[in-house]
Amino acid sequence: MALRDFLKEELDTYFLYTFSYIRTVKDFIISRSSEWISHREAESKKLRRVKEQSTEGAAESGYRNEAELEMGLKETRIGLMEMQIFFLDAVEMLAATSAHVFKQNQVLQLPEGADLNSVHKIIHVSELLCPLLLSFKRDNEAFFKPKLENIEVMQFQLNLYITNIKRMCDGFRNSFPDDLCLDNITIALNDELSDDDIEKMLSNINKLNEYRMDEHVRLLCLFQNNHQTFMEKFRESEDRMLQVLSSLEACAAQLDSLNKGAKISSVVGSSVGVISGILSIVGLVLVPVTAGLSLGLVGAGATLAGLSGVNSAVTAATEAGVSHQQKKKANESFEKFMADVNAIQSSLNEVITKHFLKHQENQALKELISGSRVSAVSRNIDTIVDCYSAYSITKLASELPELGQAAAKGPLAMSRAARGGVIALNAVFIGVDLFVIVKDSIALSKGSETEMSKCLRATAALWESEISSWQKMARSLEKGSKESEKKRFILYEPFYF
């Protein structure tokens, strides 16, 4: 095949793929975006409603809330996947497309109504918008897990997605003329093109294809090659953040171990309480028969009751102390963790804000943000750091009760404190102790995870997914940096001779 034919084939492929991306973006904005946004806004409201219900403290509604949350987030994850496939991926591809290839020139034969200027504008708007795609770079399947403890963070992130999708759709909407024609464009090379020119154009179009299909180079494109600060911040804090998450798991394990020990102690103490109650009852019943000798049984029962009460008090005090220590340790660790998160997220926000500030005099950008100040765009992005940090630390503190599971032993404490020598009351307390034995034994069989440890693990899992996304991003940037040195300028160089 002659060089001319190779060039025509490569150009034709570049055009066809570019037009397919444009159609994908246009279809989402015109046919899908309103419904997509409406569904996500409804899901955000549902998240808020589930959160409000869960804070009311109605235990019987817990399972219902979890089921509703799981169902709602399943729909959210599907919706986010559709957004990625039917919009964001295409925008990213267009941002890595050379607008110079689509300038009016002697190489192309256009049908009536074809408008390469509109194609050029769409590519330019994609380039202007592309840093906003950084706010979507996470594993949504891992991030949006049905955990009541993380519901406010997930709602905030979903709202940020909705806001940025609206902004991007508004930016593109005026770029699509009603009569945009992307069909029947024929590649016709000028006969006067020299073989050297054809070779150069063929080399360039191959490089442009490689550039656009390289996910690592595309990520550099989103960063506008301003990724150094992010890399430095992440490398500096990666091990430290992972260590904090590991310590949160250690805190959770310690709390669960304590809770399990407390339940075992409760079962043992209640068993002793049952025996003491029976001895007291038998001793009192046999007083007339034994001429008072059976009162020794009453004394033995009282002694066992006392030992049982001491065991309960020591268990509760120990649990309260350890729970307080674990809470303090978790909060201190998490505050340091969030300081690192803040630094990393700020570096990503800085990429976005610098990009928009750089283009603040650009007319296309002014149309994109509808006359509002560029700082308004940056403020909207920056709020994610403050909201995440304030929410997470506040919630962690509010979910760590000072007394751990001590409140759950209310019936047990009552039976010990009020126990006396009256047969009727002893019989009642035996029933209470038996109830506690059964209840705590069932709890032991189901596991020993506390509310506090559940909160710690849910929080750690969410941020572990975020760190995993940053790790993937850092590795991709390292690969892209090595590959892009010889490619990075090709996107902005004139294509036709």
62 token code pair: 């817990």
109 phi and psi, to 5 degrees?
A: -110, 115
Q: Using CA atoms, how far apart are residues 325 and 288, in angstroms rounded to an integer? A: 54
| pLDDT one-digit tens code per residue, 343-360 | 998 899 888 888 877 776
Matching residue, tokens 């941020």: 463
Decide if 259 contacts 447 (C-beta within 8 A).
no
Residue 118's pLDDT band (boundaries 50, 70, 90)? confident
Greatest CA span in the chain, whole angstroms?
Answer: 130
Decide if 142 contacts 465 (C-beta within 8 A).
yes
Residue type, 198: I
Nearest to 230 by CA among 477, 468, 464, 463: 477
The reported pLDDT for the residue numbered 430 is 39
27 token code pair: 């279809």
The reported pLDDT for the residue numbered 361 is 60
Q: Using CA atoms, how far apart are residues 99 and 489, in angstroms rounded to an integer? A: 13
**Can you point out the beta strands (E) in 184-251?**
186-187
Least confident of 9-23, 48-62, 285-299: 285-299
The reported pLDDT for the residue numbered 390 is 42
Average pLDDT, the chain: 73
Q: Residue 389: CB partners within 8 Å, gap ≥ 6?
A: 338, 341, 342
| pLDDT one-digit tens code per residue, 182-219 | 766 777 777 778 889 889 999 999 999 999 999 999 99
Nearest to 427 by CA among 269, 265, 282, 264: 282
135 token code pair: 């706010």
| pLDDT one-digit tens code per residue, 232-247 | 999 999 999 999 888 8
Decide if 24 contacts 111 (C-beta within 8 A).
no
The reported pLDDT for the residue numbered 362 is 60
114 phi and psi, to 5 degrees?
A: -70, 140
Q: Using CA atoms, how far apart are residues 200 and 405, in angstroms rounded to an integer? A: 74
Query: HSE of 203 in the Cβ direction (CA atoms, 13 Å)?
Result: 10
The reported pLDDT for the residue numbered 333 is 79
Other beta carbons within 10 Å of 296: 12
Residue 363's pLDDT band (boundaries 50, 70, 90)? low
pLDDT for residue 117 is more than 60: yes
Specify the pTM: 0.75
The reported pLDDT for the residue numbered 449 is 67
Q: Is 238 helix (H, G, I), strand (E, B) or coil?
A: helix
pLDDT for residue 458 is more than 70: yes
The reported pLDDT for the residue numbered 494 is 84
Q: Where are the alpha helices (DSSP H) in 359-422?
A: 363-368, 374-398, 410-417
Nearest to 155 by CA among 304, 41, 231, 252: 41
Q: What is the mean pLDDT of residues 27-56?
A: 91
Q: Using CA atoms, how far apart are residues 234 and 477, in angstroms rounded to an integer? A: 12
Top mean-pLDDT range of 37-46, 62-71, 457-466: 37-46
> Looking at the DSSP assignment, which residues form a beta bridge with residue 187?
108
The reported pLDDT for the residue numbered 109 is 65
Q: What is the 3-state secondary structure (H, E, C) of 99-141?
A: HHHHCCCCCEECCCCECHHHHHHHHHHHHHHHHHHHHHCCCHH
| pLDDT one-digit tens code per residue, 366-402 | 554 444 434 444 444 344 334 333 434 334 433 433 3
DSSP 48-114: HHHHHHHHTT-GGGHHHHHHHHHHHHHHHHHHHHHHIIIIIHHHHHHHTS-GGGGS--TTEEPPTTB
